[in-house]
Amino acid sequence: MELFADLNARVVLDTTELPWSPSPLPGVERRLLDRSGGEVARATSIVRYAPGSSFAAHSHAGGEEILVLDGTFSDETGDHPAGTYLRNPPGSSHAPFSAEGCTILVKLRQMHQADQACVRIQTRQSAWLPGLVPGLAVMPLHQFGSEQVALVRWAPGTMFQPHRHLGGEEILVLEGVFQDEAGTYPAGSWLRNPPGSVHSPWSDQGCTIWVKTGHLPITEPPQPGPVSAG
Ligand SMILES: [Fe+2]
Ligand SMILES: [Fe+2]
């Protein structure tokens, strides 16, 4: 399956409107955001575990990145409540399950082979740092090469400067409403801004977003300009 597989194309989805598709395991369903490949795919999905469901033991050839959106996601490494950010590096394996049920953002097969960090961060218990402009707070989650992952919290009325995404940008709006000159993105919106894209984001009512930048292949020479945080 090829779904929004052209990484040079901008994508905006209201994930709350997407249908739930069955997975190979009963009780586990998913909303497909982007995908390239079959059951073994480079894929970004929102996955829902019904209470008491489990997924087959599997290994992560290209790594697996997860943000727990609600409920509690579990595996051999522990119980990971809502807000937990996980990275299972290339070559790792596990057998996940959820006793109470959960919803998670999952990115598969998108890690550099040398990025071997095993990460578990409980973002609801972690500190926010001041951002680049007043009203912005940042919680760094991971950095490898040009790739950076963070939560960014926007106080109501915060405006960020125009910036270019050298290696692209991907955003999931977790709370509130995120905005830029191309649109208004309520909670549940997923954006993928391609390498070289430019925007000037703001938030009138405030929001919290998960942001990954610098991870999409650059197909044109980088151009000068301020880089990024939303
Ligand atoms: Fe996994
Ligand atoms: Fe941005």
- Whole-Å CA distances, 225 to 18, 98, 169, 199: 35, 44, 15, 12
> In angstroms, what is the span from residue 35 Cα to ligand 2's centroid?
22
Predicted confidence band of residue 41 (pLDDT cuts 50, 70, 90): confident
pLDDT digits (tens, 9 = 90+) for 113-155: 999 999 999 999 999 999 999 999 999 999 999 999 999 999 9
Ligand nearest to the CA of 54: 1
> In angstroms, what is the span from residue 110 Cα to ligand 1's centroid?
13
> In angstroms, what is the span from residue 65 Cα to ligand 2's centroid?
20
> In angstroms, what is the span from residue 179 Cα to ligand 2's centroid?
10
pLDDT digits (tens, 9 = 90+) for 174-226: 999 999 999 999 999 999 999 999 999 999 999 999 999 999 988 755 555 55
Q: Average pLDDT, whole number, for the chain?
A: 94
> In angstroms, what is the span from residue 75 Cα to ligand 1's centroid?
9
- With a cut of 90, say whether residue 230 has pLDDT above it: no
Ramachandran angles phi, psi of 194, nearest 5° = -70, 165
